[in-house]
Chain A
Amino acid sequence: MGRPAPSTVRWLILVALLVFWELFPRTGIIPELFLPSLSKTIAVLVKDWHEYASELAVTLYEVAFAMLIACGFGILTGTLVGGIALLRNLLLPVFSSLYAVPIVILYPIFTAWFGIGSESKIIFAGVYGFFPVMLSTAAGIRTIDPQLLLAARSMGANLTQQITRVIIPASIPTVLTGLRLGGALTIIGVVVSEMLTSAAGIGYLVTRYRTILDSPHVFGAIVMILLLSIAFDTLARAVERRTMVWQIAGRRQKEGEQADIAVKPATAVV
């Protein structure tokens, strides 16, 4: 009997965690205030599903608009910064340093400007998610192999064709990675800003139930956020996989070029 597959082990760890989550609070090893049992959390979610669903709808609405801002402006700015040397030299160092700043310190200012409703969350989370999208778009455009553009020019591609047929397809994989990171940050941004100051959303539920020490409801909200993040990540990875097949393979081949040659002669054509 060999070692179990990694995926089996992963599932076993997950199951073990869920079992402990149920057992520890029940046996009193961990007080219920710190960690309500799994069954209690689920029971709360089922009982109050209406409240959770309506608050989740608010959060989803904010996340959707924030992602539009992050992706739209991120791709636009990234394209300009990546494509134009002057802008790159001026702005890229600034954006890179800004990325390291904890932007959450700006949130109180955003609430002063845009109120405590959805607008301030959308704009804050949009700014939060903007940076990885913008930086990876710039990187994607900057790292395009100049030989590909030269080849396209030699075949008579005009500027528009160089952009649509070379620059865009060549930068899609890097941009998608940025969208996945930026999207995840957008979700964090929305939830955090809801937790700080708001009257609606899943993050608001966490804060409200925490102040009245209602742990099962807090954990119910946490489970919702977890599910939301996992769903987004799964979706984003699926999209990435579909479009990145050639790129992943290309990278692998670069490392193993010798091995590749060694395998190929069987095809008779060199």
Chain B
Amino acid sequence: MTASLSIVRDAPANAAIEVAGLSHIYAGSNSAVPALADIAMTVGAGRFVVIVGPSGCGKTSLLMMMAGLRHQTSGTIHIQGRPIDAPDPDRVGVVFQEASLFPWLSALDNIEFPLALRGAPRHERAARANDMLNLVGLQGFGARYPHELSGGMKQRVSIARGLVQDPPVLLMDEPFAALDEQTRMTMGHELLRIWSQTAKTVVFVTHSLTEAVYLADEVLVMSARPGRIIDRIAIPLPRPRTYEMMGTEVFGRLRDRIWQQIRKEG
């Protein structure tokens, strides 16, 4: 990890994600609703950036645009130096709020799914998927079907699936929102372990301020609709993060600063 915590506005050479002048307007049946306004952000390679904001501020839309799953009205998104206008699993893996696993496939087959789409040879798929299963701590659960897994285990499978093609960027849309508090804490910690082992660039959307401060190198705060980035907060807590840090004064001050920003928007 680069220790630099300052925010580099002009795209550095090692930027994984560059968003410039991005706006989005929903064309309703009789009115146009501005959803995102003039978003600019740069995420350096290997950084962990968390986006928070009030409900409906368009943070999920922004993430879907970075994934190439939705098109913005104007502005550009570059991932790994090239524009993205369609899903590209070689550059971007996505983890959704509901694990979105295929219920008719076993955990292992779910993880293999992206490789199967590309027609990768069976033995290669199995080997790679097994590696991922071990990475997310689910060895021995490969033959289980999604309905046989707990919520946290499903998200582990989903993360493994997002990483199986080894994309440099992982986008996560409130992946732990549906989990209970304890599972959520464990999963956050696990995600940091996986992140430190794989050196991915992560953009993580969440409602939880504690989760945001605990996970992030940098937190971007978005305004209510139309969503703009109103604050960028570097999180100077050392890595690896520990649960004890949550009780520290620094942690509390950072969380409070984000809360003040969001409350103004509420």
Contact between chains at A270 and B183 (CB < 8 Å):
yes
Contact between chains at A148 and B147 (CB < 8 Å):
no
**A153-B150 CB under 8 A given contacts A147-B98, A166-B102, A269-B137:** no
Contact between chains at A261 and B104 (CB < 8 Å):
no
A214, chain B: closest CB distance, angstroms = 52
Partner of B104, one of A147, A150, A170, A269: A170
**A270-B102 CB under 8 A given contacts A147-B96, A156-B89, A156-B118:** no
Chain B hits for A115, CB < 8 A: none
CB of A165 within 8 Å of the partner chain = yes
Interface string of B99-125 (1 = CB under 8 A from A): 010111000000001101110000000
- Range for the number of chain B residues in contact with chain A: 35 or more
* Distance in angstroms between the alpha carbons of A257 and B98 in the assembled complex: 14
Main secondary structure of the interface of A (DSSP, over half): helix
Partner of A150, one of B100, B114, B116: B100
For residue A162, which residue of chain B has the nearest CB?
B117
B164, chain A: closest CB distance, angstroms = 9
Contact between chains at B150 and A154 (CB < 8 Å):
no
Chain B hits for A54, CB < 8 A: none
* Distance in angstroms between the alpha carbons of A34 and B256 in the assembled complex: 86
B86, chain A: closest CB distance, angstroms = 9
Most buried by A among B102, B145, B152: B102
CB of A231 within 8 Å of the partner chain = no
* Distance in angstroms between the alpha carbons of A260 and B88 in the assembled complex: 36
Q: List 14 A-B contacts (CB under 8 A).
A: A147-B100, A148-B100, A151-B94, A151-B96, A154-B69, A154-B89, A154-B92, A154-B93, A155-B94, A155-B117, A169-B104, A252-B147, A269-B150, A270-B182
Chain A interface residues toward B at CB < 8 A:
145, 147-148, 150-157, 161, 165-166, 169-170, 172, 246-247, 249-250, 252-253, 257, 260-261, 264-265, 267, 269-270
